[in-house]
Amino acid sequence: MADVKLERKESLSREEAAQWLSVLSKGFARGGEVTLPVGAATVELHLPDRVRAEFEVKVDGDEVEIELEFTWSTARRMGDQAPSVSSDDPGPE
């Protein structure tokens, strides 16, 4: 079982998908912290120097699925921070 899991499925325009991937790509290019928009929330991650990557393409009839997965250890070194999730929505009162 995961300590933290955030999953969201939504329909995006091609431009919106490119913007989301661009944020992640720039984060990997410069290293350090990246803030990913997820609906009304954001996910803040520390990107390490090395990650494991998995790339998968599946074509089933008229549907194409691309999965791109990055994994890395969250073992803390001095100054590292754990992933965090924030939201503008205060939730139930």
pLDDT of residue 82: 53
pLDDT of residue 83: 55
Contact 28, 21 (CB under 8 A): no
pLDDT tens-place values along the chain, 93 residues long: 667 787 888 899 999 899 889 999 999 999 889 998 887 888 899 999 999 999 999 999 999 999 999 999 988 654 545 555 555 554 444
Contact 36, 83 (CB under 8 A): no
pLDDT of residue 60: 97
pLDDT of residue 14: 95
Which residues, listed in sequence order, are joined to residue 86 by a DSSP beta bridge?
A: 42
> What phi-psi label fits residue 44: left (phi over 0), alpha (psi between -120 and 50 degrees) or beta?
beta
Task: Give residue limits of the domains in the chain.
Answer: 14-74+81-87
Query: Which pair of tokens denotes residue 73?
Result: 């250890």
